[in-house]
Amino acid sequence: MSAFSRENIAIGAHQHVVARFFAPPGEAKAAVLVVPAMGVTQAYYAPFAAWLAAQGYLVATFDYRGIGQSRHGRLRGLDVDVLDWARQDCAAMIDATAARAGGRPLYWVGHSLGGQILPFVPNRARIARIVTVATGSGYWRENTVALRCTSWWLWFVAAPLTLRLFGYFPGKRLRKVGDLPRGVMEQWRRWCLNPEYAVGVEGESARALYAAVATPIVSLSFTDDEYMSQRNVESIHGQYANAPRTLKRIAPKEIGEKRIGHFGFFRPKFEHALWRAHLLPALD
């Protein structure tokens, strides 16, 4: 695995996120910010980041506040929501990564939630290319058939009840998503219950932010994704109305595999079939 440095990136005066920067063996040709899915820690992306660094990129990973190494103390009482993650955590990571890139292009690789929230990032104009991985709208009625029943239980029973009892979402105990700050779970729940997802909840200003994104987007989604249906994928990318979009939907059998799923793309076994074959052409 490539060498990396662990750094605290300041969010305002009194908070920070923990990031890792993976350096290439020589001079970087560009920088890549890996933006995580809901509840997924940056450790999951480490093998992918190390491989990408070996291909000549400076790569940054991080944990949102309240997640992984950016969880400082108890979640109960942590005042943060999804928009804070975008406007503050992601914005700080763009600044930090761009500062280390020395004027080289900066690319955004967003997994699931990481592909949804870019419009809310105030300094997103610094991003030169976008790759979304397994990114869809999250609207529960358009989820895969297998997920709808458990989604109903999550949104109408588990989330409201546990938030009242614990003051945060104890996802690890429930084996759902992972532990999440109250504000994050409440906002995400509202989004997932709305047919237009974030735009339907946050209003016309959010619609305008999606429409304002003009950066080219390559979407990589998978036919066996247990969370995101094709309709979910098309819905969220349709909000990026003015961005050049290339949507690639990949079936496991096309690459000689039985399964990819929502999380499989970042596993090292897909170095040749997905990383080299589909990601690098989107970046190079």
Band (pLDDT 50/70/90 cuts) for residue 2 is low
Strand partners, 48: none
Residues spanned by the domain of 65: 4-144+205-283
Residue 97 lies in a domain: yes
The DSSP bridge partners found for residue 57 are: 30
Q: Give the integer Cα–Cα distance in Å for 129 and 265.
A: 19
Beta bridge partners of 9: 17
Distance between CA 247 and CA 30 in Å, rounded?
A: 23
Could you tell me if residue 73 is inside a domain?
yes
Give the model's pLDDT for residue 176.
87
Q: Is residue 200 part of a domain?
A: no
The one-letter amino acid at 9: I
Q: What is the mean pLDDT of residues 175-199?
A: 95
Q: How far apart are CA 52 and CA 55, in angstroms?
A: 5
Is the residue at 155 inside a domain?
Answer: no
Query: Domain tally for the chain?
Result: 1
* 151 in any annotated domain: no
Q: Residue 1 above 60 pLDDT?
A: no
Residue 170 maps to a domain: no
Neighbours of 187 (CB within 10 A): 20
In eight-state DSSP terms, residue 36 is: P
Write the CB contacts of 161 (distance below 8 Å, at least 6 apart in sequence): none
Give me the helices (H) in the chain, please.
Answer: 46-54, 82-84, 91-101, 113-116, 145-153, 159-166, 171-174, 182-192, 197-202, 204-212, 230-239, 280-283
User: What pLDDT was estimated at residue 147?
Assistant: 84
**CA pair distance 15, 179, nearest whole angstrom:** 19
Distances (CA, A) of 87 to 12, 17, 90, 189, 273: 12, 13, 6, 19, 34
Query: 3-7, 118-122, 155-159, 279-283 — which is least confidently predicted?
Result: 3-7
- The answer to whether residue 273 scores a pLDDT higher than 70 is yes
Within a domain: 191: no
172 Cβ contact list (under 8 Å, min separation 6) = 178, 179
Residue 103 has pLDDT above 80, yes or no: yes
Q: Which of 39-48, 63-72, 83-92, 135-144 has the lowest mean pLDDT?
A: 135-144
Mean pLDDT of 167-189: 94
Q: Write the CATH number for 247.
A: 3.40.50.1820
Whether residue 181 lies inside any domain: the answer is no
Residues 112-171: tens digit of each pLDDT: 999 999 999 999 999 999 999 999 999 999 988 878 888 899 999 999 999 999 999 999
- How confident is the model at residue 4, as a pLDDT? 78
165 to 59, 176, 203: CA distances (angstroms): 39, 17, 30
pLDDT value of position 245: 97
pTM listed for this prediction: 0.95
